[in-house]
Amino acid sequence: MSEGIFCRDLELVRRGSRDQERTIFTDVNADFPAGNITLITGPAGSGKSSLLYILAGLIRPTRGEVLDGEEAVSRWLTPHRDLWRKGVGIVFQHFQLFADLTAEKNVMIPLLPKKWPYRRIRNRANEALERLSAGHLSQMPVHLLSGGERQRVAVARALAADPAILLADEPTAHQDPEGMKIVMDVFAEARDRARVVVIAAHDPRIAGIADRHYRFIDGRLVHDRSPESQG
Amino acid sequence: MIAHPILMAIGMADLLGLGLILSAGWIAGDVLLHSNPDGRDRRQIALEARSERGGLEARWGAGLFAFSTLLLVIAVTRILPELIPGAMCGTGVFQAMQGAGFRAFALRFITLLLLYLWHLLDRLNRTSPRGPLTETCARMLLIALPGAVLGIFDTFKAVSLLDLERPVDCCAALYDRFGNGNSLPFWENIPDAFWMGGFMATGILLIAAGIWSFLRPGRKSAALLAIFSLIWPFAAAGALIQVLSAYHYQVLSHPCPWCLFLPEHWRVGFFLFAALLGGMAAGTAALLSIIVGQRYPAIREPARIMSRRASGWVVLLSILFIIGASFPALLWRLRHGVWIGG
């Protein structure tokens, strides 16, 4: 189980053609301890999603490192980082579901590397869907689902393997108040099981349950300690 | 110059492989000059990503180099003898290449051995998340790089010397040496019994060292194995060419290694020489694994496993070589009751 993930001097610079480059963020130092929900907010294009991708080991920062406990996982060789990523669940902003597969099969995908018996994988996937009140959608192809339903399937997929680190990019953007409560209850449960939970969002409703709050301001991540930002 | 498709394929594979190895070598140089594993600045993070890419390029480059070397062996043993007038096997082709062929082969096999050792270090490096052998791998790649460049250069030179209009005398190249006893190389004067004694003695010692290193992988056992695996190919190849080849060819004496690659002799040369070279590489790998494993605790266990596996390969390959090389001689003895030389 992870003690938490920690960013040290992170910087992300995107390069275009003809020496064009854009600094997305710089000098990011942040702690995401286990047993906490950490919220990251900031304007569009401030680098919230990119930071989540770096925390998930999907992209490399251009400077600095991400530590899992004391190990600089962002600098690990790719095969080791890929193995570490098995302990990370991520909810993408645009879901990244397989549109032609059923909700159940989408949720089963991250469980396949565990090499469990098929029945166990299937049961686990259905349990995750049930927790998101999406059990009735399990046999529906994803392309027939609404945006909110797809989002809950995406959350179920991220949770199915019971990851030590749960990262979510705008996980409630398509949720009505009822759906929002279901999703946030699931994140709260993960926090209570000492998981690292990091949410990047615009949604002000999330601030209520977050334990820690970081805000992107002008390419820097600032720890917001104001009382209204703390849950 | 002969524009045969296999020669073009060799050229293409060589150029592609060389491009990849040079690119990886450039990165390796950068790693050696600028790497600072304790730093986390832009340059270091970029270098770590490039170093991984360099490893991938070197793997593909080494693979292409090995593939083109195999094609070259096939060309020299099977295809070019049919094109060059008077050539019946690789001996005639080498005669037509006027010395550059031998240099190309020697450089290629030395480079392949170095690239194999690089590959071994790279595999060990990738067993630990932070890659503690990154700089050692970079050094080994830079050691192998000149061999690849020169080997490919000599191959082009050798191939460009091939001429369809100029005949060679394949057997004359072999037997003319006996016409004038003074010009015989020293190994031609070594008695058969000495070759066979050396072959059997080093073979037994190699297998014993291999079993010891397999059961108890350590610096002493691996060092002994590496020494014998470097001596054994010379003793074994000498015995094969000078003594045992006669039983493969069913003639009194024909000390030609290249005829072993011909279809009428079951192309046994591919198997026998691959076993010899493979054994030599595995024996060296067994020692190298143990040395780096003792120096870097993070990879000690995988290094021990790799050394053990390499020792097992040495034993297996040397047994297969002994069986493959001496089986026709034993069969001859059982059939006729005497050895071929009486």
B125 contacts on A by Cβ (under 8 Å): 77
Strand partners of residue A24: none
Touching check for A27 and chain B: CB below 8 Å? Answer: no
Could you say which residues from 208 to 227 on chain A have a Cβ atom under 8 Å away from some Cβ of chain B?
A: none
Please tell me which of the candidates B40, B46, B129 has its beta carbon nearest to residue A77.
Answer: B129
A68 contacts on B by Cβ (under 8 Å): none
* Amino acid code (one letter) for B335: R
Q: For tokens 């909700």, what's the residue?
A: A103
Please tell me which of the candidates A63, A77, A80 has its beta carbon nearest to residue B45.
Answer: A63
Q: Is A170 left (phi over 0), alpha (psi -120 to 50) or beta?
A: left
pLDDT at A207: 85
Q: By the 8 A CB rule, do A165 and A1 touch? A: no
CA distances to A187, A193, B260, B298 from A165, in Å = 11, 11, 61, 26
Q: By the 8 A CB rule, do B151 and B14 touch? A: no
B259 CB neighbour count, 10 Å cutoff: 23
Per-residue pLDDT tens digits for B240-273: 999 999 999 998 888 899 999 999 999 999 999 9
Mutate to test the interface with B, among A62, A63, A71 (most CBs of B within 10 A): A63
A26 contacts on B by Cβ (under 8 Å): none
Mutate to test the interface with B, among A15, A75, A81 (most CBs of B within 10 A): A75
* Residue B174 pLDDT > 90: no
**Is the CB of A60 less than 8 angstroms away from the CB of B40?**
no
Q: By the 8 A CB rule, do A134 and A152 touch? A: yes
B188 CB neighbour count, 10 Å cutoff: 12
Per-residue pLDDT tens digits for A127-168: 999 999 999 999 999 999 999 999 999 999 999 999 999 999
Task: Look up the pTM and report it.
Answer: 0.90
Mutate to test the interface with A, among B31, B38, B40, B41 (most CBs of A within 10 A): B40
Question: How far apart, in whole angstroms, are the C-alpha atoms of residue B147 and residue B72?
Answer: 16
Strand partners of residue A71: A68
Question: How far apart, in whole angstroms, are the C-alpha atoms of residue A229 and residue A204?
Answer: 9
A57 contacts on B by Cβ (under 8 Å): none
User: Which residue pairs from A131-135 have beta carbons closer than 8 angstroms and sit at least 24 positions apart in sequence?
Assistant: A131/A156, A131/A159, A131/A186, A131/A189, A132/A156, A132/A159, A132/A182, A132/A183, A132/A186, A133/A182, A134/A103
Question: How far apart, in whole angstroms, are the C-alpha atoms of residue B32 and residue B24?
Answer: 12
Beta-strand runs (E) in chain A: 4-15, 21-33, 36-41, 63-68, 71-72, 88-91, 165-169, 196-200, 212-217, 220-223
Q: Which two tokens stand for residue B74?
A: 């096939």
Question: How far apart, in whole angstroms, are the C-alpha atoms of residue A191 and residue A189?
Answer: 5
Complex ipTM more than 0.95, yes or no: no
Per-residue pLDDT tens digits for A79-125: 999 999 999 999 999 999 999 999 999 999 999 999 999 999 999 99
Interface of B with A (CB under 8 A): 40-42, 45-46, 48-49, 52, 125-126, 128-131
Touching check for A9 and chain B: CB below 8 Å? Answer: yes
A13 contacts on B by Cβ (under 8 Å): 42
> Does B229 or B254 have the greater pLDDT score?
B229
